A and B are shown apart, each in its own frame.
Chain A
Amino acid sequence: MNWITNYVRPTINSLFSRRELPENLWTKCDECGTMLFHRELAAHLNVCTSCGHHMPITPRARFNALFDGGVFTEVKVPEPIADPLQFRDQKKYTDRLKAAQKQTGEKEAMLVATGEIGRTPIVAAAQDFSFMAGSMGMYVGNAIIAAAEEAVKLKRPLILFSAAGGARMQEGILSLMQMPRTTVAVEMLKEAGLPYIVVLTHPTTGGVTASYAMLGDVQLAEPGALICFAGPRVIEQTIHEKLPEGFQRAEYLLDHGMLDRVTPRAKLRDELIGLVRLLLGLPPAIAADLPAPAAADDSAPDDAATPEAAAPKAEPAAASAKPAAKATKT
């Protein structure tokens, strides 16, 4: 109405809500030492443009690049009981959790979402190594179960990106019990005849590798990812000998028959689309940059919290065939 509402308020608001600049505009590649500009790095999904070294990527950034048009709907994960053991080491577990939440802006170490990749509806789950080393506690277990249940309900494949130091010690035996619990989740998918594809990312170790992360129908890994049960340091201490070059890295596992493929992050999306469509008996995807799916456009394009369950009620084959046909016409 007046200059205060029209000018002063927006100015003040913009001053306070101004997005914080990234602290470091430049990141040094831990492998080759090249300085990488943050925009360039983000555009390449945190892969070094000079040597191809794969740096960690958050689940959200990964999903933005994975889903058509960057549109996905988060799946709600049932909240577990907090700090069941009242665990305390040098710090309280609850304090460690709060610190991790503050640092990452995420609630816990796994993000589950539904959406489409190459017009193929999927459920995806990604583990966040930056959140307490991605460790598998009750929340992560619940997230994987929720992801499997959602996939079964919607008759969609599940794609899981693993990254974890192992089980979350602060939840003691209950973290260990996520090994059988998540295995039950994998069984649900198998019994429903749905593809379960695992992408092992750096690093995936311990109880995570020894449960859901090794039970995929297809096992992919990102280049250079450390994948193991016992870490190299523990092994060196046990056997008192130096381990060979590249030991427990993705390429080493591929050589030893423990993986199907090692795929660079840049090619991962296309490969996942191809694999999922092959396994579901769908026609090949259209190789082009696809806009956001129509269903999400209609309701609210920016709001990722839109309940998506309302949209595709039909079986996945029909649901995915339709938009694909539409894309061919345009």
Chain B
Amino acid sequence: MTNYLDFEKPLAEIEGKAEELRAMARANEGMDIEKEAAALDKKASDLLVSLYSNLDPWRKCMVARHPDRPHCKDYIAGLFTEYTPLAGDRNFADDHAVMGGLARFNGRPVVVIGHEKGNDTKSRIEHNFGMARPEGYRKAIRLMDLADRFNLPVITLVDTPGAYPGKGAEERGQSEAIARATEKCLQIGVPMISVIIGEGGSGGAVAFATADKVAMLEHSIYSVISPEGCASILWKDADKMKEAAEALRLTAQNLRELGVCDQIIKEPVGGAHRDSIAAIGSVGRALDGMLDQLKNKSRKQIRDERRKKYLGLGTKGLAA
């Protein structure tokens, strides 16, 4: 069953009609509906193409947060072999919002780290909706250190609404943990590649996405604040999220123009959630390409270039 987004209602109607016709034909033998049904299918697929070729920023947010969108664990299962999860921050707990460990990518050992949101009520609660606590960032720091020591590239998969705003998280130093994780991203002398697969929510994303190469899926977003949060602060009205999404320039296309995103990974027609396998394959090819661009560089060169990249950000604005 497809979960339709609000703006996909016309599509749902057409697909529903085609489905009805076929059901009728199955019930009444000899009824020839195939021509009509095929016409409806064509209409639906045309509509899908036109809807998704022209998504406004707020619709992109909805697609980026789509519950059926492939998540971190789907990418890990699809792209890595011998994935060996490593747990815990050695201080307090293991944060299930962050998954990570050793694995092989195309046979090559790497460290993979990502936010996992979960895909049903039970797993969403278990993964805290992808909102990490300090332990999650400290686990990532530990894994990045491990990668650095054994010269393994780090691949991060970013998909988080943001760091968890909770009492315990604050008491245990949420901000310090994020700051240290960002610092660690800048310190390691091994290739560091980030893919924003869904939502790149503020500081919680930066802590994982301060990388040599940052790729974004076509309909993913990366922003300083959620459109809802921005609307409630600047418009004093949380319902102005469409306007806020527009103003924040949070789409992959805008970020590519601003130099924050290095590469956009194309999604299947209708978004990654309509064809997970194709989306995962595209991410795999992009990762392979980015790793290739970073090979044969010395540790110092990698680190220096990464720092230079960040110092140089912000020299170009959007075209008027």
Contacts and interface: CB of A to CB of B under 8 A. Distances in A.
Contacts, number: 172
A246 to B, nearest CB: 12
Interface stretch (A76-84, A150-158, A272-280): A76-84
B179 A167 contact: no
A238 B210 contact: no
A229 B320 contact: no
A235 B314 contact: no
Interface-central residue, B164, B178, B183, B318, by most chain A CB under 10 Å: B183
Interface stretch (B13-21, B108-116, B167-175, B282-290): B167-175
Contacts of A8: none
Interface-central residue, B222, B254, B313, by most chain A CB under 10 Å: B313
Interface string B210-233: 100000000000111100001001
Interface-central residue, A169, A210, A214, A256, by most chain B CB under 10 Å: A210
A243 B235 CA distance: 27
Interface stretch (A176-184, A286-294, A314-322): A176-184
A186 interface: yes
B183 A215 contact: yes
A206 interface: yes
B202 interface: yes
A81 B247 contact: no
A184 B314 contact: no
Interface string A162-198: 0000010111111111011101101100000000000
A258 interface: yes
Interface residues of B, number: 54
Interface residues of A, number: 54
A243 to B, nearest CB: 6
Contacts of B313: 174, 177, 181
B307 interface: yes
Contacts of B187: 187
A174 B310 contact: no
Interface in B280-320: 307, 310-311, 313-318, 320
Interface string B184-223: 0111000000000000001100110010000000000011
B202 A211 contact: no
B249 interface: yes
B170 A235 contact: yes
B258 to A, nearest CB: 6
B10 interface: no
B227 to A, nearest CB: 11
B160 interface: no
A130 interface: no
A223 interface: no
A183 B235 contact: no
B311 A181 contact: yes
B243 interface: yes
Contacts of B176: 210, 214, 258
Given A169-B224, A173-B222, A183 B179 contact: yes
21 contacts: A84-B316, A85-B318, A90-B235, A138-B314, A169-B233, A175-B224, A177-B206, A180-B185, A180-B206, A184-B186, A187-B187, A207-B206, A207-B224, A210-B207, A211-B182, A214-B175, A214-B180, A229-B178, A230-B166, A256-B172, A258-B176
Given A81-B314, A173-B222, A228-B175, 20 more contacts: A81-B316, A84-B314, A87-B247, A89-B234, A89-B235, A145-B311, A167-B224, A169-B233, A170-B234, A172-B249, A173-B254, A173-B260, A175-B224, A176-B203, A180-B206, A187-B307, A209-B175, A214-B175, A241-B167, A257-B173
